[in-house]
Structure 1
Amino acid sequence: MTSFRGMWVVVVPVLLLTAACAGQDGAGVAPDAVPSALPADVPVLRIDYTGGFVRPETNVTRLPAVSVYGDGRVITEGPTILSYPGPALPNIQVRTISKAEVAKLVEQARAAGVGSSVDVGTPSITDVATTRFTIRGPVGTERLEVYALGEATGPEAGLTAAQQAAREKLRTFTDKVTDPAGAATQPYQPTAIAAVAGPWVATPETAKQPRVEWPGPALPGTSLGEGLQLGCVTVTGAAVQQVIAAADKANAATPWTSGGKRWSITLRPLLPDETDCASLSTDR
């Protein structure tokens, strides 16, 4: 299911197209050459979100809308519970498609404008996220960033008819790749989990939440930046299943106990191309 989220950190609207390694725009590349050129754990196509007005822990742990790997794995976030507090772990789903279908998705991304100098305009909207499209292949890494893709849908956002049409093609492609009709999926089984921790603060909504003992590495872990009061630890090995089991008894507002203190934890299963907390950088 596609979700264009409203966010909480002000960002400057930007349209960015880069061909990082070869300095080319990718025109004329045979689509079926893209998947086989990269290792299985490298995404050949990814759609994710950056910036917006969000809490720091949300910005760090936000999942890509979709990650398509060269071996055919397609990883998306499944339906979420809208009531508060939500589950402690996100609902990540995986399906497998053929390499020919992977190549077709890359081709469709290019047809939608990724890998070109398409003009999507700069809408007069603030505080929302930028949708980033990334293709990796023989010509290097290409990115197209579109500010307020889900929010700026009409002339009231200060967009021309051509800019609106360009955005609609990208929205249509995003809907297709993130929510394919009738596709069979199964829960994603991570081999590592990043846990972003900060001091737990009681509120009228959370004060009665039962505590859950944290079974992973000592919190709060490596600092995520001065003044943030946030740290991150990477859960690996046997502790991954212990954390998943504990998360079944917790929710997004649970006070986790570690080292005699209570912590608020945001759990982020790591994807196949991610290895530790450093992988959560928004510039990937």
Structure 2
Amino acid sequence: MVEAIRSPVISVYGDGRVVFTERNEPTTMSPPEYLVVQADPDDVARFADELEEQYLIDLGTDVGSPGVTDQATTTVTFHGRGDASELRVYAFGTRFERDLPSTALENREELRAVIESAWGLAEGDAEPYDPDIVHVHEPTAVTAPDDDVPAWPGPDPATFMTGDPGSPGVITGDAAAVVYTAARENPDGWWRVDDEVVRLVVDPVP
């Protein structure tokens, strides 16, 4: 397995765009299907101002750490008027939180309200979203399939892959949308590049 597909579940932009996916946990190597809604930029501005005044999205915010193992971490990133800030919440589910201190519980409830407000901005007529940038990961090799696999639809990987497992390749512009669309139909992430079969995992970056 590879922890490659890390694009956000929902992203809210200052111009009113709300980009989201209804698939929370990727179960294949294909990227999730993203949709986009156009919200009122004034509503987004109010949402951002209120969030900035809360001082909630910060690595120093006390959200506790439930005493359970093998649970996911929810990450919320906020780009306000200053530098980007981030809050990471482990085991973000009420069934895990019964023994947490009151301050941690209050902060988790505030964060739930923030996320609910973000989803409220996503109401409206959604349209398919084509990214203008994708990250491409090359997982640790496993045995390639013997059957035919689709031809890689993007530029030569040698022109954009870094060779560093921790640093993905980047494709931008029209080619990003082409690669994203093709990857949606290729759940295993295997591609043919010239005479070689390689595994390239496409991760859209809304």
What TM-score do the two structures reach when normalised by structure 1? 0.57
For residues 230-263 of structure 1, what are the alpha-carbon distances to aligned partners after superposition, in whole Å with 9 as ceiling and x for unaligned? x743334453454345336x32215211142212
Q: 1:141 corresponds to which residue?
A: 84
Query: Could you list the runs of 5+ residues in structure 1 that have no partner in the other structure?
Result: 1-54, 272-284
For residues 47-93 of structure 1, what are the alpha-carbon distances to aligned partners after superposition, in whole Å with 9 as ceiling and x for unaligned? xxxxxxxx5x42x43012322222111222234798x6x47332112
Aligned equivalents of 1:91, 1:72: Cα separation in 2: 20
Distance 1:171 1:81, change over 3 A: closer
Distance 1:224 1:129, change over 3 A: farther
Q: Secondary structure at the match of 1:178?
A: helix
Are 1:215 and 2:153 counterparts?
yes
Q: 1:128 corresponds to which residue?
A: 71
What TM-score do the two structures reach when normalised by structure 2? 0.75
Q: Is the 8 A contact 2:66 2:96 kept in 1?
A: no
Q: Which has the higher contact order (CA 8 A, sep 6+)?
A: 2
Are 1:184 and 2:125 counterparts?
yes
Which of 237, 257, 263 is equivalent to 2:198? 263
What letter is aligned with 1:215?
P
Q: Is the 8 A contact 1:210 1:255 kept in 2?
A: no
Q: Secondary structure at the match of 1:93?
A: strand
Q: Is the 8 A contact 2:30 2:202 kept in 1?
A: yes
Which of 157, 170, 188 is equivalent to 2:111? 170
Q: Secondary structure at the match of 1:174?
A: helix
Query: Could you list the runs of 5+ residues in structure 2 that have no partner in the other structure?
Result: none
How many angstroms does 1:159 deviate by? 0.6
Aligned equivalents of 1:131, 1:254: Cα separation in 2: 25
Aligned equivalents of 1:241, 1:142: Cα separation in 2: 29
- Percent identity between the aligned chains? 27
State the aligned residue count: 202
Q: CA RMSD in A?
A: 3.4
What letter is aligned with 2:105?
Q
How many angstroms does 1:178 deviate by? 3.4
Aligned equivalents of 2:137, 2:130: Cα separation in 1: 19
Q: 1:74 corresponds to which residue?
A: 18
Q: Secondary structure at the match of 1:144?
A: strand
How many angstroms does 1:183 deviate by? 2.8
Q: 1:233 corresponds to which residue?
A: 169
How many angstroms does 1:94 deviate by? 1.5
Distance 1:246 1:147, change over 3 A: closer
How many angstroms does 1:102 deviate by? 0.9
Q: Secondary structure at the match of 2:157?
A: coil
Q: Secondary structure at the match of 2:197?
A: strand
Q: Is the 8 A contact 1:209 1:255 kept in 2?
A: no
Aligned equivalents of 1:244, 1:115: Cα separation in 2: 30
How many angstroms does 1:152 deviate by? 5.8
For residues 211-238 of structure 1, what are the alpha-carbon distances to aligned partners after superposition, in whole Å with 9 as ceiling and x for unaligned? 101122333621233xx8xx74333445
For residues 130-166 of structure 1, what are the alpha-carbon distances to aligned partners after superposition, in whole Å with 9 as ceiling and x for unaligned? 33333333343333332222376432xx312442233
Q: Is the 8 A contact 2:137 2:201 kept in 1?
A: yes
Distance 1:172 1:257, change over 3 A: same
Q: Secondary structure at the match of 1:61?
A: coil
Which of 148, 165, 182 is equivalent to 1:246? 182
Aligned equivalents of 1:209, 1:110: Cα separation in 2: 53
Aligned equivalents of 2:9, 2:198: Cα separation in 1: 28
